[in-house]
Amino acid sequence: MLIRIWNSRLWKSLRLRFMCSAGSLQLLCDGQLMGMVMHCLLMYRRVCWFVVFVHLYTFALSFSLKQYTVGGIELGNHLFESRLVLSNDCRSDPFIVLSTSSYFLSCEDLGGVGSFNTTCLINSNLYLNSDLEVYGTGNLEILPHVSIKCPVDGCAITFNMSGNVNLGQHVTIIAGSVAIAAANLTVEYNSSINTASLGGSPPSQTSGTPVGNDGAGGGHGGRGASCLKNNKTNYWGGDVYAWSTLSKPWSYGSKGGGTSGQNQFGGNGGGCVKLIVKDMLYLNGSVTAEGGDGGLKGGGGSGGSIYIEAIKLKGYGTISAAGGRGWGGGGGGRISLYCYSIQEDIKVIVHGGFSIGCPGNSGAAGTYFNAYLLSLRVGNDNVTTETETPLLDFPTSPLWSNVFVENNAKALVPLLWSRVQVRGQISLYRGGTVVFGLSAYPVSEFELVAEELLMSDSIIKVYGAFRVYTKMLLMWNSKILIDGVGNTVVTASFLEVRNLVVLRENSVISSNTNLGVYGQGLLRLTGHGDAIKGQRLSLSLFYNIIVGPGSLLQAPLDDDTSRSVVTKSLCETRACPIDLITPPDDCHVNYTLSFSLQICRVEDLLVNGIMKGSIIHIHRARTVIIDADGLITASELGCSKGIGKGNYSNGAGSGAGHGGRGGAGCFNGLVSNGGDEYGDADLPCELGSGTEGPNSSYGRVFGGGMIVMGSTQWPLLRLGIYGSLRADGQSFGKETMNGNGSLVGGLGGGSGGTVLLFLQELVLAENSSLSVSGGSGGPRGGGGGGGGRVHFHWSNIGIGEEYVPFASISGLINNSGGAGNQGGLFGDEGTVTGKKCPEGLYGTFCKECPIGTYKNVEGSDEDLCTPCPLEDLPNRAFFIYERGGVRKPFCPYKCISEKYRMPNCYTPLEELIYTFGGPWPFALLLSGILVLLALFLSTLRIKLVQSHSCGANIGRQSSHFSPHLLSLSEVQGTRAEESQSHVYRMYFMGPNTFREPWHLPYSPPDAIIEIVYEDAFNRFIDEINSVAAYNWWEGSVHSILSVLAYPFAWSWKQWRRRNKIQRLKEYVKSEYDHSCLRSCRSRALYKGMKVGATPDLMVAYIDFFLGGDEKRVEMVSYIQKRFPMCIIFGGNGSYMSPYNLHSDTLLANLLGQHIPPTVWNRFVAGLNAQLRTVRHGSIRSALVPVMNWINSHGDPQLEFHSVKIELGWFQATASGYYQLGILVVAGDYTIHNVHHPDLVGRSHSECLRKDAASLGKSLKQHQQSLPYSSHALSRKKITGGINGCLINDATLRSMDFKRDFLFPFSLLLHNTRPVGRQGTLQLLITIMLLADLSVTLLTLLQFYWISLGAFLAILLILPLSLLSPFPAGLNALFSKEPRRSSLARVYALWNATSFSNIVVAFFCGIFHYGFSSFHPPDNTRREDDQWWLLPTILLLFKSIQARFVDWHIANLEIQDFSLYCPDPDAFWAHEPCS
């Protein structure tokens, strides 16, 4: 290894010649090498040969070394190339003669240990006065606190090592240029490679050093500052240079300027640093090439150059090429890093130097270029400056990736036409500024092409036209200001952002010329302060534009000049701008277009902020939404004069006219007429007019502008106004003075502008407004401006079923004229019009004609909707809505309920009725059919029933005339022996119901007390009472059936009673051993007792007989005790069981001993005829005719046979039930023969048993108060022990009775006297039965239509009751004797039960129609108030049926009308009454 100290031109020239070829060594490039050798031979013969040999060997070795690369660059040759650059650029005088006396130094010569081919450790400080180059294949380590200095401008120190180079802590290398090549380089903590203020001369033909004595800073990467610069000048210090070597800078910085002739220069420029590292550069110290300090007497020097190549750059160190401090700060230098990986903690500094003379204008920032990423960064580290860093031509191949301008750096693109194009981002951060063009020449055109343009707290200022092509533009508190000086020669600027434009935090894009913003994605102005403004502004091709709260879209600008450029041509003509009505398909912006603010080919526009323009045109958009805080306004942006301008004469100012005439002005009696009305109401396209005074001191008023949305070819799909859309005229509010200072009348108000909307759907929400009102007049008589014009040009108005409501108006449409002031008149209203509506629609918004009207012509006048004729509207119908309106004279209608049937709105019942011509024809037809059916059924009944009846009558007649066919019980005298042995008939007590069954009292009556054993008799009573009792389930079934179907319950009760009688008979006849009887013969033959009952099963009894083995005397004694005899009536006074006297054979034989059978039978028949009409519920009044009949008809005839009959009540039970009957006294023993003491001396307790609880205290008190007690029965002597009392006029009034819940039915169903005419009556019953069924079915049909619930309620409450009368009636009519009467009663019972269904029908009808919330429309008339008609008819029919059935049953049961003959003689003679 050779260490050479270069000290002569000869050796330098020799070294250059050896490096002429990269492939081989050229030894003799010229004659200089031979001169060198001869010189060596003459002076140092041996030494020179040795030097030549070693020199040749060194160069051969260096070329034979394995070449390695860093980032793709060959490091072996690169250092030599760098030395060439170093020799040519970094040293202005490469032939400096050194004073060093030693020519060859080793590692030891530098105070080190080791060898440069292995490892050299330098531990001594070195002070050099010339260049130093070190070559070796080993490692180099400079130990801590060692310094190597060459403090000479442009002095070069080079370390070219194949191994690693390590600079220990606090190591310092100082020189004009430093170049290090190594495999790995480490710069430890506080170590430094410093070329600050040691730069040599900059390249020739550069202006880095300023001229003059203003103390400006030197320039390099950025311009030097000049303290002569202000806001209106463009002075700067030293200029920039070496832009072409930006990626591999190797230029010295420039000196700063001086402040006087004695101090011509300020601080020196920075030096050069080149670090070539094969792998990793670990930097914890600093690498600097900063400019020198100029102090107060000179400008700062500019920063030098730093170039670093490495695979990895790590550490926490600093790389700086900052400008020097001075009177004017020096510009920053240039730094380029070619590193694959750079740790973020590395700090790179290129800011300009601080300016002492002007602290706010430091030197411009230098450049920091990432050569690996091809990224340029211009940052001033927040040092304030007004001096630019020029960015000259940008490469096109390859394109840079990113450009960053940040930290108060100010970049300048100065060329007349320039394209700034990168592959990635152009970012401006933290006060960064980029200026395109020069303010003195604002006619330049600039293009910016990048993937993204990102701005934060930064500014882009353009002088001229600006065109941006990017995918994303994001701005945060930033501005893009385009200044074309309002010159139409300057082409329009446009920003084409394909994906996203977002402005936030007071970001502004502004141009005083035409500006277009194009894109394909989202444009969003986020909030307050965000704005896009221009003289003309066009936003197009975006998918969505959002104008956030407080943000602004504006064109033209606020100055009058900008406004007049846009509106002047339209204010002077009545012609409609064709480009607003039928705009071109392309969206462009130039000075020939009519609009000031255009939004074109945008899908959705959402306005939360403000859109402001003189002529706003929204074209080929889909939806526009103006939110609650949003405003689209052209107010006060129209003409200052215009076609309808207001007048001003002698202090009287009138309002301008447009859609309405302006209001007249009035001042001191002078009147100025208002501006004229102009424009077409059906297609308005004019600006509002204003008013001007005689001169500028009076001021002026502007009319409203124009807003056009959509076009005839491309209408707006939807406009939603939740905020405001305004084009109002301006109001004049200030006081006006004339030349002498006195107040005069003010100007009139401006007229409203134009809102022209081509759209399909409109929503004007509540609290929103659409306004074209005129402005108010000025003080002292100013007239109001006329209202403007609004026109809705609807597109695709659907007709018929295709119609869809397209306007929802809840807000305010204001077209009013402006208010006059102090005598000034109001302006006239403007116009609000719409496209002519097709048939069926009317009005501005083409709404459907009101319901009940039709329209069969085109037009918008409301009077065209003609009322529909009411004669075609059925009752229970109302006119209904038809989509698209009614276009024919016949209006559609609908029934008031879905239950009514179209087209006549009839119920199903009415459909049936009117099918046959109406109610009366239907009633007549139905009546005829029913009569025919009744006749048919009557004929059929006669053939089926009477034929059988004839056979039965023949049988009865044959048996009557053939006595041998009679049964023994029916032949008189056949049971004489039985009647002779009869002792006593003991009746069961109680009504024989499930709650109170039959029972016998325990104490044996007096009549049988001597023929029974009392104890055994009581046991028998227990047993017989238990047999007579019902089971619990029988009563439960009866209760259930009573609720569901009462006739079934009655049939069930009769069935169980019949079974109970049979059971009692079987028990007494077969099961009981008759042990209570004293007669042995009776016990043996089981013939002492026999159970019997009346046919209606209401009364049961036990007959006691003698056994035949008694003594003759005793038998006579027993027989004599038969009378007085009590005979209990059957029945209970109800409809189904009327009272009747059942005279069986035994009674007939017993009484036949005293009364002839014919007399007794006639008496029984007459008495039963009277008893059948007695109702228990009205027993007091019903028994009076019976008593009278007994007194008039019975007693006179019976007394002839020594028999007396008295009516009484007997067998009272604890529940209050008692039984009616008669007391028969025969023979000499009569009631009048009762001894007086026996009758008088008896207390009432002996007359009434204590258990007769049903007879109240009133009856007791009444009987006690009677003056005669001869009717009180002697229990022992008369009744034989049966409790009860005789009934006379006195006791009748005090009789107690109970009425059950079915008593009201007794008013309808009761037994009557026969009326005859049985055939006619049966025909009428058949007719009523059929009518009942018909009306029932019609009623069910009616209520099924009303409600299914009502239908089910009527049908099921009570179940089967409504429909069962018909089959029950047919069954009764076609039944045969003797069941016909009982079946007729069942039929009557079903008929009465069905009344409950009718009551339910009334309740359902009242509930539905009386309390229903359904109300038909006012123009209809409902006839459902006649719902009660059918239930009423049905109720009437059932009532008539009940009466007919009562008569029918009476005819069946009483066929001998003479029984009711009032004449007793005729009665007993069987003669009919006259």
Mean pLDDT of the chain: 82
Q: Which of 1127, 1113, 1123 is nearest to 983 (CA)?
A: 1123
Contacts of 711-714 spanning 24+ positions with Cβ under 8 A: 711/580, 711/581, 711/582, 711/583, 711/619, 711/620, 711/758, 712/581, 712/582, 712/758, 712/793, 713/582, 714/619, 714/620, 714/758
Token couple for 983: 């002792």
pLDDT band at 1418 (very low <50, low <70, confident <90, very high): very low
Q: Would residue 272 be called left, alpha or beta, if left means φ above 0 and alpha means ψ between -120 and 50 degrees?
A: beta
d(CA 1226, CA 1222): 13
Write the CA distances from 469 to 397, 510, 526, 1320, integer angstroms: 18, 17, 22, 112
Highest mean pLDDT among 86-90, 857-861, 1277-1281: 857-861
Give the helix/strand (H/E) hosting 611: strand 610-613
Beta-strand relationship, 444-449 and 185-187: unpaired
pLDDT at 563: 83
For 962-1000, the pLDDT digits (tens) are 333 333 334 444 455 677 788 888 999 999 999 999 999
Report the SS3 class of residue 534. Answer: strand
Predicted local distance difference test score (pLDDT) of residue 389: 94
- Residue 498 sits at the vertex; the CA angle it makes with 493 and 500, to the nearest 5 degrees, is 100
3-state secondary structure of 1371: helix
Q: Is the dihedral of CA 435, 438, 441, 444 positive or negative?
A: negative
Higher pLDDT pick, 26 / 352: 352
Confidence class for position 905, pLDDT limits 50, 70, 90: confident
Indicate if the pLDDT at residue 1269 is higher than 70.
no
Mean pLDDT of all residues in 844-855: 90
Which tokens hold the place of 359? 């602290």
Lowest-confidence pick of 4-13, 100-109, 469-478, 1447-1456? 4-13
Residue matched to tokens 């047919």: 1370
Q: Of 706, 699, 696, 712, whose CA–CA distance to 729 is shortest?
A: 706
Q: Can you tell me the distance from the alpha carbon of 167 to that of 122, in angstroms, rounded to the nearest whole number?
A: 10
pLDDT band for position 510 (cuts 50, 70, 90): very high
* Element holding 616 (H helix, E strand): strand 615-619
Nearest by Cα to 777 from 737, 744, 829, 821: 821
Q: What is the pLDDT of residue 60?
A: 42
User: Rounded to 10 degrees, what is the CA torsion of 42, 44, 49, 53?
Assistant: -130
The yes-or-no verdict on residue 1233 having pLDDT over 50 is no
Dihedral, CA atoms, 39, 45, 51, 55, nearest 10 degrees? 60
> What pLDDT is recorded for position 762?
94
Task: For residue 97, give the DSSP letter.
Answer: P
Which residue(s) pair with 518 in the sheet? Answer: 496, 540
Is the model's pTM score more than 0.85? no
Higher local confidence (pLDDT), 1077 or 1299: 1077
Match 């490091």 to its residue by tokens: 75
Of residues 590 and 284, more confidently modeled: 284
The alpha carbon torsion through 1389, 1394, 1399, 1402 (nearest 10 deg) reads: -150
Backbone phi, then psi, for 953, in 5-degree steps?
Answer: -65, -40
Query: Do residues 588 and 516 touch, judged by C-beta distance below 8 A?
Result: yes
Interatomic CA distance for residues 1399 and 1096, integer angstroms? 31
Flag the least confident range among 132-136, 1122-1126, 1254-1258, 1349-1353: 1254-1258
What is the pLDDT at residue 655?
A: 94
At residue 1424, the pLDDT reads 65
d(CA 485, CA 231): 17
**Cis ω for the linkage preceding 903 (within 30 of 0):** yes
Residue from 776, 612, 785, 791 nearest 686 by CA: 791
Cα(389)–Cα(631) distance, integer angstroms: 42
Give the CA dihedral 965, 967, 972, 978, nearest 10 degrees: 160
* Contact criterion met (CB below 8 Å) for 676 and 583: no
pLDDT in tens, 1234-1256: 333 333 233 333 333 333 333 33
Could you tell me which of 990, 1311, 993 has the C-alpha nearest to residue 1178? 1311
End-to-end CA distance of the chain: 177
pLDDT level of residue 233 (50, 70, 90 thresholds): low
Q: List the structure tokens of 604.
A: 């959705």
* Nearest partner of 1402 among 1422, 1423, 1427, judged by Cα: 1427
pLDDT value of position 792: 94
- Token readout for 737 is 């003075």
> What sign has the CA pseudo-torsion 313, 316, 317, 318?
positive
Instruction: Work out the angle at residue 1465's Cα, subtended by the Cα atoms of residues 1123 and 973, and round it to the nearest 5 degrees.
Output: 40
Map 626-682 to HEC letters: ECCCCEEECCCCCCCCCCCCCCEECCEECCCCCCCCCCCEEECCEEECCCCCCCCCC
Share of the chain above pLDDT 90, in %: 40
Distance CA 302, CA 251 (A): 11
Share in percent of the chain as helix, strand, coil (round to 5): 30, 25, 50
Within 1045-1111, where are the H helices? Answer: 1046-1066, 1080-1085
The two three-digit tokens of residue 673, written as one number = 């007429």
Name the β-bridge partners of 901. 906
CA 125: distance to chain centroid? 86
- pLDDT mean over 200-205: 84
Checking if the pLDDT of 1276 tops 50, the result is no
Tokens of 650: 């002698």
Nearest one of 367, 308, 363, 318 to 341, comparing CA atoms:
308
Could you read off the pLDDT of 1354-1410 as tens digits, one per residue? 888 888 888 888 888 888 888 877 788 888 888 888 888 888 888 998 888 888 877
Query: What is the 8-class DSSP label of residue 906?
Result: B
Q: Looking at residue 24, what DSSP letter applies?
A: S
* 1224 three-class SS: strand
Please count the residues of the chain. Answer: 1474
SS3 (DSSP) at 1327: helix
What per-residue confidence (pLDDT) applies to 18?
A: 32
**pLDDT at res. 977:** 67
Nearest to 474 by CA among 510, 526, 412: 526
pLDDT of residue 826: 93
Predicted local confidence at residue 74, as pLDDT = 36
| Rounded-to-integer distance, Cα 89 and Cα 277, Å | 22
Measured CA to CA in angstroms, residue 1371 lies from 859, 940, 1387, 1432 at distances of: 75, 13, 8, 26
pLDDT digits (tens, 9 = 90+) for 371-417: 999 999 999 999 999 999 999 888 888 999 999 999 999 999 988 77
Percent of the chain scoring above 70 in pLDDT = 83
Question: What are the DSSP calls for 476-524, one per residue?
Answer: ES-EEEEE-TT-TTSPPEEEEEEEEEEEESS-EEEEEEEEEEEESSEEE
Over residues 352-358, the mean pLDDT reads 94
> Could you give the CA distance from residue 190 to residue 382 in angstroms, rounded to a whole number?
25
Listed in sequence order, the residues at least 6 apart from 31 whose beta carbon sits closer than 8 Å to its beta carbon are: none
Question: What's the pLDDT tens digit per position in 1102-1132?
Answer: 999 888 777 555 555 555 567 788 899 998 8
Task: Give the model's pLDDT for residue 174.
Answer: 96
The residues, ordered by sequence, that sit 6+ positions from 846 with a Cβ below 8 Å of its Cβ are: 794, 797, 806, 807, 834, 835, 837, 838, 860
**Cα–Cα nearest to 272, from 367, 182, 155:** 155
Contact in structure between 281 and 317 (CB atoms under 8 Å)? no
For 1306, list phi and psi in degrees, rounded to 5.
-65, -20
At residue 1299, the pLDDT reads 65
Residue 1052 or 584, more confident: 1052
Structure-model confidence comparison of residues 150 and 1260, the more confident one: 150
pLDDT band at 41, cuts 50/70/90? Answer: very low
Averaged pLDDT, 1253-1266: 36
Residue 1319 has pLDDT above 80, yes or no: yes
Residue with tokens 């920075």: 270
What gap in Å lies between CA 720 and CA 762, rounded to an integer? 6
CA-closest candidate to residue 1128, choices 1231, 1017, 990, 1230: 990
> pLDDT tens digits, residue range 678-696?
999 989 999 999 998 888 7
